[in-house]
């Protein structure tokens, strides 16, 4: 699969940093190349530049020349995720409305957010996470704004200064300001920032940043707004420092343009317009966006997207009828997270929903003696250092990759196209010591048990993620990518009875490819409660001034950013609103038919769109017009197309794949060793097909076609796998 046209003449570089490898996808002139390098956790810019340098080598040009020629670099970073996992953020002080100092500590009562379903079912096992802002660094200020935006208790500047001094004396290195209803009237939060800047001017070494909730998330739901603001402040410093270093390294090597960051709402934004929290989980979003571009070419209406890498297994879904973000010009849309969660904290941003579990090539297999010698695989991972035992980097515990080597799926002499040699003997020793011996199995039986268990674990996660949304996975096509995805796809697809699998030659860098298709996309949100229709099927809203004023304000913010890019005329704007029936606590987001309301007919159309979507989700019997209809939050999406990509259709060749056969080797498929033909993926031509068993080797992935499955290389150069019979 390769792009045939590029809307922009500028060359692009797209980089995705994963837990094990850093991937790069480069479009230069009329060529597309990709490269990989181990992720360097001590300094992510090293792995970043190594991956891009691998692409420059394929293009036969110096890295500096490639960077100088590049018009745009898109980057999906794990900096936010790493900072949260490692608790590397600064010591923050929080200033809130007096009497509400314990809101974030109390949370939602039961601390279930961010936990797997099996833990949520057992309340006693749900431990409260360590707060990002300790209780002794939370202070209250006597002020109050009511739910209509009126000042009830004015703020006193002298009290603000007193509270700020208290927090500084306790070691605060930055401030988070969270007042009730501040999104309706931000004046009080702005007073706090003014006082902090006056006490600690930017010109001095003692300057402290102040992050306001009214700037970060001007929306209802105080708890989510608080968490979003705290996370933004907590992640900001380390990200700013590391991205500044990366920018410096790129500048030194010839890149002279802004760095763009992938965000979790489905697009990319210039660094100076990004926030730390928006970059969380950006890599899987890139793969999902790329999948939608590919799905459009095939005409698939329902797609399950799976990415099995070295550390994690990521799942996403998209359908042609879901009211959500439209991406990359594709007529496919995907799911928002109903309750977006980052780590253990529920947040309020509009975030595309993906699910990630600890299941990858580096997932460690072990025997739990406490649970009657139960075999477990993951979520612990060997990562890139020390990595699986077969990597010869000091890893002693067996992993999924070690099992794949022992089973014959992976050729130890052709990992990463032969660039990295693996040690089969070390893989066998690790499995024998830690799994086969304790369970009384042969080494190949133990390796097969590791493989089938991780496949079942991934299949079970797909089943949960589809069935909980009322979806039938048998009606979907499964996209399998990531370095290990095509190796295990038939295993986890069979678990949920998905009829068709699509694999990709650039499987292990597919997320980086997806990032290369991303547009400038950003959402501007603000809460404002309006009654669209009175209860008991009463009259519709007929005064549209307040509705349109909110929309116009958000549109102005969007156009400010577009002005920076100099392409306002090419952008598209759309409105989404969170609505609910009166006296109901939860909202449903729908896409508004029009950006502004100009007539009662427009209001009626908005109401009908809500009723239709509500009925689709909860059944038509649940529609409740007697309660009236309220609008709670406005969201204006802006999209600026950056690159129009079309997949090139290739001529079909013969069905016989003999010209691509490179040999045979024994492969273990659960009952016996089978002498299996091995094919060189780059030598396969569209139209080639084969029945399993077969092994198809690409430079950075291996496609396993077990007995009872059929493989065909299609007109786009992708692999289509279907179960026979």
Look at residues 415, 315, 290 and name the one whose alpha carbon lies nearest to residue 361: 415
119, with CB counted inside 10 A (0-12, 13-18, 19+), is: middle
Query: For 40-49, 151-160, 312-321, 419-428, which range has the lowest pLDDT when averaged over its residues?
Result: 312-321
Query: For 57-66, 115-124, 293-302, 601-610, which range has the lowest pLDDT when averaged over its residues?
Result: 115-124
pLDDT at 21: 81
Bigger pLDDT: 1 vs 197: 197
For 407-434, the pLDDT digits (tens) are: 999 999 998 888 889 999 999 999 999 9
Residues counted in the chain: 725
**Cα separation, 329 vs 350, whole angstroms:** 20
- Do 443 and 434 meet the contact criterion of CB atoms below 8 Å apart? no
Question: Per-residue confidence at 6, pLDDT binned at 50, 70, 90?
Answer: very low
State the CB neighbour count (10 A cutoff) for residue 142.
Answer: 12
pLDDT at 4: 40
**Cα separation, 93 vs 168, whole angstroms:** 8
Query: If you average pLDDT over residues 640-657, what whole number do you get?
Result: 84
Question: Per-residue confidence at 129, pLDDT binned at 50, 70, 90?
Answer: confident
Asked if the model's pLDDT at residue 8 lies above 70, the reply is no
Domains present along the chain, CATH in parentheses: 3-83+241-274 (3.30.420.40), 86-235 (no CATH), 282-358+457-516 (3.30.420.260), 363-454 (no CATH), 520-640 (3.30.1490), 658-723 (no CATH)
**Cα separation, 681 vs 699, whole angstroms:** 8
Q: Give, in order, the Cα–Cα distances in Å from 2 to each of 271, 400, 650, 654, 717.
A: 28, 30, 10, 21, 8
pLDDT at 448: 96
Full-model pTM? 0.83
Handedness of CA 230, 231, 236, 238 (dihedral sign): positive
Mean pLDDT of the chain: 88
In 432-572, where does DSSP find H-type helix?
437-439, 443-467, 485-496, 510-516, 545-565
109, with CB counted inside 10 A (0-12, 13-18, 19+), is: exposed
Question: Per-residue confidence at 1, pLDDT binned at 50, 70, 90?
Answer: low
Bigger pLDDT: 648 vs 665: 665
> What SS3 state is found at 477?
strand
Question: Per-residue confidence at 204, pLDDT binned at 50, 70, 90?
Answer: confident
Beta bridge partners of 695: 678, 704
For 160-181, the pLDDT digits (tens) are: 999 999 999 999 999 999 999 9
State the CB neighbour count (10 A cutoff) for residue 373.
Answer: 11
Check residue 468 and report its DSSP letter.
T
Question: Per-residue confidence at 644, pLDDT binned at 50, 70, 90?
Answer: low
Using a pLDDT cut of 90, give the percent of the chain over it.
Answer: 53
pLDDT at 370: 79
Query: If you average pLDDT over residues 130-157, what whole number do you get?
Result: 94
Query: For 373-387, 485-499, 650-664, 690-704, which range has the lowest pLDDT when averaged over its residues?
Result: 373-387
Q: Which residues of 630-656 are buried (b: 16+ CB within 10 A; e: fewer)?
A: bbbbbbbbbbbbbbebebeebeeeeee
pLDDT at 117: 64
Query: For 18-22, 135-139, 285-289, 596-600, which range has the lowest pLDDT when averaged over its residues?
Result: 18-22
Handedness of CA 219, 223, 226, 229 (dihedral sign): negative
Specify the DSSP element, H or E, that contains 69.
Answer: helix 63-69
**Cα separation, 419 vs 411, whole angstroms:** 12
Bigger pLDDT: 156 vs 268: 156
Look at residues 244, 184, 260 and name the one whose alpha carbon lies nearest to residue 220: 184
Query: If you average pLDDT over residues 211-231, what whole number do you get?
Result: 93
For 236-265, the pLDDT digits (tens) are: 887 888 888 888 899 999 998 889 999 888
**Cα separation, 247 vs 475, whole angstroms:** 45
Using a pLDDT cut of 70, give the percent of the chain over it.
Answer: 94
Asked if the model's pLDDT at residue 666 lies above 90, the reply is yes
**Cα separation, 505 vs 487, whole angstroms:** 13
**Cα separation, 145 vs 182, whole angstroms:** 7
Bigger pLDDT: 693 vs 335: 693
pLDDT at 320: 62
For 287-311, the pLDDT digits (tens) are: 888 888 888 888 888 899 999 988 8
For 506-534, the pLDDT digits (tens) are: 888 888 998 988 888 889 999 999 999 99
For 462-513, the pLDDT digits (tens) are: 988 887 777 788 889 999 998 899 999 999 999 899 999 999 988 888 889 9
Question: Per-residue confidence at 5, pLDDT binned at 50, 70, 90?
Answer: very low
């Amino acid at each position: 699969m390769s792009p045939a046209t590029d809307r922009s003449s500028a060359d692009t570089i797209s980089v995705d940093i994963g837990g094990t490898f850093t991937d790069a996808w480069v479009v230069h002139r009329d060529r597309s190349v990709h490269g990989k390098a181990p992720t360097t956790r001590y300094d992510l810019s090293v792995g970043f530049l190594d991956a891009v340098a691998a692409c420059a080598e394929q293009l036969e040009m110096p890295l500096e020349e490639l960077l100088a020629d590049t018009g745009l670099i898109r980057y999906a970073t794990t900096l936010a995720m790493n900072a949260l996992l490692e608790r590397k953020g600064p010591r923050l002080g929080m200033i809130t409305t007096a009497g509400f100092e314990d809101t974030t500590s109390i949370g939602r009562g039961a601390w279930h957010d961010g936990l797997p379903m099996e833990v949520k079912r057992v309340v006693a096992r749900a431990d409260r996470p360590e707060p990002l802002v300790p209780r002794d660094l939370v202070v209250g200020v006597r002020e109050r704004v009511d739910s209509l935006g009126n000042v009830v208790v004015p703020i006193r500047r002298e009290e603000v200064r007193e509270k700020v001094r208290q927090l500084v004396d306790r070691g605060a290195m930055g401030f988070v300001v969270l007042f009730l209803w501040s999104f309706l009237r931000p004046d009080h939060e702005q007073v706090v920032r003014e006082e902090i800047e006056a006490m600690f001017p930017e010109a001095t070494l003692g300057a402290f940043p102040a992050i306001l909730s009214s700037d970060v998330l001007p929306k209802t739901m105080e708890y989510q707004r608080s968490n979003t603001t705290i996370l933004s402040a907590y992640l900001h410093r380390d990200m700013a420092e590391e991205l500044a270093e990366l920018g410096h390294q790129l500048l030194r090597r010839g890149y002279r343009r802004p760095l763009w960051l992938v965000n979790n709402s489905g697009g990319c934004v210039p660094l100076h317009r990004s926030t730390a929290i928006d970059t969380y989980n950006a890599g899987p979003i890139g793969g999902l966006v790329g999948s939608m571009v590919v799905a459009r070419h095939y005409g698939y209406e329902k797609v399950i997207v799976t990415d099995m890498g070295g550390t994690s297994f990521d799942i996403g879904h998209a359908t042609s009828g879901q009211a959500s973000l439209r991406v990359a010009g594709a007529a496919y849309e995907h799911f928002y997270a109903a309750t977006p969660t980052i780590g253990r904290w529920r947040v309020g941003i509009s975030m595309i929903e993906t699910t990630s579990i600890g299941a990858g090539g580096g997932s460690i297999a072990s025997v739990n003696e406490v649970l009657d010698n139960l075999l477990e695989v993951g979520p612990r991972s060997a990562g890139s250092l020390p990595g699986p035992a077969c990597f010869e980097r000091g890893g002693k515990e067996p992993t999924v990759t070690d099992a794949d080597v022992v089973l014959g799926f992976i050729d130890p002499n052709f990992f990463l196209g032969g660039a990295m040699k693996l040690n089969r003997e070390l893989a066998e020793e690790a499995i024998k010591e830690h799994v086969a011996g304790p369970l009384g199995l042969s080494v190949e039986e133990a390796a097969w048990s590791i493989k089938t268990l991780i496949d079942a674990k991934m299949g079970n996660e797909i089943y949960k993620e589809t069935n909980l949304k009322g979806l039938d996975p048998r009606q979907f096509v499964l996209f399998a990518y990531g370095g290990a995805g095509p190796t295990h796809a038939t295993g986890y697809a069979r678990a949920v009875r998905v009829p068709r699998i699509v694999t990709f030659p650039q499987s292990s860098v597919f997320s980086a490819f997806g990032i290369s298709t991303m547009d400038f996309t950003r959402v501007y949100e603000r809460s404002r409660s309006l009654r669209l229709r009175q209860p008991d099927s009463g009259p519709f809203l007929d005064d549209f001034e307040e509705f349109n004023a909110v929309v116009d304000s958000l549109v102005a913010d969007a156009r400010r950013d577009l002005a920076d890019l100099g392409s306002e005329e090419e952008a598209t704007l759309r409105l989404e609103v969170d609505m609910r029936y009166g006296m109901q606590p939860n909202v449903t987001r729908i896409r508004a038919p029009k950006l502004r309301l100009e007539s009662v007919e427009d209001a009626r159309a908005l109401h009908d769109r809500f009723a239709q979507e509500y009925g689709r989700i909860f059944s038509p019997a649940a529609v409740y017009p007697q309660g009236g209809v309220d609008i709670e939050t406005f969201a204006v999406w802006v999209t600026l197309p950056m690159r129009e990509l079309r997949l090139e259709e290739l001529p079909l060749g013969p069905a016989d794949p003999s010209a691509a056969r490179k040999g045979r080797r024994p492969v273990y498929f659960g009952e016996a060793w089978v002498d299996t033909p091995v094919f060189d993926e780059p030598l396969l031509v569209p139209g080639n097909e084969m029945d399993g068993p077969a092994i198809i080797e690409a430079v950075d992935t291996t496609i396993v076609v077990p007995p009872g499955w059929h493989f065909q290389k299609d007109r786009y150069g992708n692999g289509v796998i279907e179960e026979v019979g």
